[in-house]
Amino acid sequence: MYRVIAVTVRTPSVECGYAAGSDDIHFEIYRFTKDKEARTERTRIAIAGERPFVDRDLESATNYYYTVRAVSKK
């Protein structure tokens, strides 16, 4: 399960991670400023595995929406 680990306010950031160990999948992370925005190369901000991903490129007073998609490496 990919989950949010921490959200900070002082320096806006979101940290996400994957707890279970599996080398067979990775995660595509998409960020939007509008709800239900399309997943595209422009909105994909990371491809993550077991290491936590930290999104620090955020602005205060802005709503962000995320989609995390599990992708098989096979």
Percent of the chain with pLDDT over 70: 89
Count structural domains, the chain: 1
From 32, 64, 22, 69, select the one nearest 47 (Cα to Cα): 69
CATH number at residue 13: 2.60.40
Determine the 3-state secondary structure of 3 from DSSP. strand
Question: Going by C-beta distance under 8 Å and a sequence separation of 6 or more, which residues neighbour residue 16?
Answer: 2, 3, 4, 5, 29, 48, 52, 53, 54, 55, 66, 68
Mind listing the pLDDT tens digit for each residue in 12-44? 888 877 766 666 788 899 999 998 888 899 999
Q: Is the pTM of this model over 0.85?
A: no
Mean pLDDT, residues 51-56 taken together: 84
Q: Kindly list the distances between the CA atom of residue 2 and the CA atoms of 11, 44, 60, in Å, as whole numbers in the listed order.
A: 23, 16, 24
Range of the domain at 53: 2-72
